[in-house]
Amino acid sequence: MAWGSFAQASSGYLYPGFAEIHEEVSLPASNWTWFPDSALSGSLVDGTVRLLGVEELRRVWRKGVVTFYYNGSDAAELAYLTNSLGYNLYYDLDVDTGRLVGWAKVHNRLEKPLAFNEVTFVAGKVPLHSGIAPVMAKRARAYDAGEMAAAAPAPMPEYSGSGGGVFRYVLKDPPVFEPGVTEIPFLRAGSSPVYTWKYSGGFARGSKIRFSRGYTFEAPAALAGGLVNVRDGGVLLGQAYMSDQSKGSKVQLWLGRDPEGVADRRIAVLKEERKEKAYRVTTTVSNPRATPVRVEIAESFNAEEIILNLPRGAERTPNGYRLEFTLAPGTDKTFTYTVTLRY
């Protein structure tokens, strides 16, 4: 790597917390010695340094340098993992416009600006268990902020698919990643978030059901998991964590209880015996808002045998039922079911 005013590499694969860097090298016959600087050598991940394009015979690590012995010569690539370069991601969702923007925060702790021909953001769960590689650190080189290389704004990364349980977003001609943190958008997409009330739990025997509030929408693209800032009209409604989502899957962002999200219940006891109990349950959900509300109710029951007589639109589940519907502004819906529990 040319450690001049900035470091140049052919490609980089950035993961949450670490990165794999590939740099082109021209090798002499038989052996070649690599002189990483102290900031890099102190961050190399053990067992991840390799030469691509030749058949390696052995490597010798000594006093801050690495000597490679191999068959072959000429053009090759030096590849290694460093835990001083990496990224994490988050999203901004504007529910008023439906605009979803994914941001990558690139952390560069290698004391120099880094320039790549291409960067791939790899998202998903990628475990890394190795420690630091056995390189003795040399004296650190002082960094002059005036050496930073300028770069034009980068284009958007393009989703290049998934494989092995991870997502890949490729950025051609990326900006120079200066020491510190560089934030760049990796995704811009439209969505149609719907305000949603949700109850999911055991048999609600009280006179009220209290709903959690949130937003649901169909994933407009393959989305790597991350924190989502949910805003409406510029006001932060809350933050929610989104798990990895494939394109077209249902995204659910829950933001806590809604004071207006309350349903009334009337429970009539039809049978009350030690081995068998039966109830008729009537639930009324009202929407006082000026916008529609999606309602999702899932109740489960604990008994050896569960007999349910459900209303139209409800779906039977192994231990209960699920019912989903949308309430227009200022409207309500009442539904009734009977349940028999045998112990």
d(CA 198, CA 337): 19
Each residue of 165-193: pLDDT tens digit? 788 888 888 899 999 999 999 889 999 99
* Residue closest to 107 by CA, chosen among 19, 195, 234: 19
CA 235 to CA 228: how far, in whole Å? 14
Distances 209 to 115, 202, 206, 261 between C-alpha atoms, Å: 56, 11, 8, 8
Integer Cα distance of 226 and 212 in angstroms: 20
pLDDT in tens, 115-135: 999 999 887 778 888 777 765
> Do 212 and 163 belong to one domain?
no
Q: Is residue 106 one of the residues assigned to a domain?
A: no
How far apart are the C-alpha atoms of 237 and 254, rounded to whole Å? 10
**Is 60 exceeded by the pLDDT of residue 151?**
no
Shared domain for 131 and 83, answered yes or no, is yes
For the cut 50, the answer to whether the pLDDT of residue 149 exceeds it is no
Report if residue 186 sits inside a domain: no
Report the number of distinct structural domains present in the chain.
2
| Predicted pLDDT at 177 | 93
Q: How many CA atoms lie within 13 A of 307 on its CB side?
A: 9
Is 97 within the bounds of a domain? no
Residue 167 sits in the same domain as residue 219: no
Closest CA to 221 of 187, 194, 253: 187
Residue at 102 is within a domain: no
pLDDT in tens, 59-111: 999 988 999 999 987 889 999 999 999 998 999 999 999 999 999 999 999 98
Mean pLDDT of the chain: 88
Domain termination site, one of 176, 208, 227: 176
Residues 146, 27 share a domain: yes
With respect to residue 261, please indicate whether it lies within any of the assigned structural domains.
yes
Asked which of 147, 176, 205 is the last residue of a domain, the reply is 176
Together in a domain, 204 and 295: yes
Distance, C-alpha 64 to centroid of its chain: 36
Average pLDDT over residues 284-311: 96
Higher per-residue pLDDT: 15 or 1: 15
Q: Quick check: pTM over 0.95?
A: no
**Quick check: 1 pLDDT over 50?**
no
Range of the domain at 58: 1-87+111-176
Q: Is there a single domain that holds both residue 143 and residue 205?
A: no
198 and 319 both lie in a single domain: yes
Neighbouring residues of 4: CB distance < 8 A, sequence distance ≥ 6: none
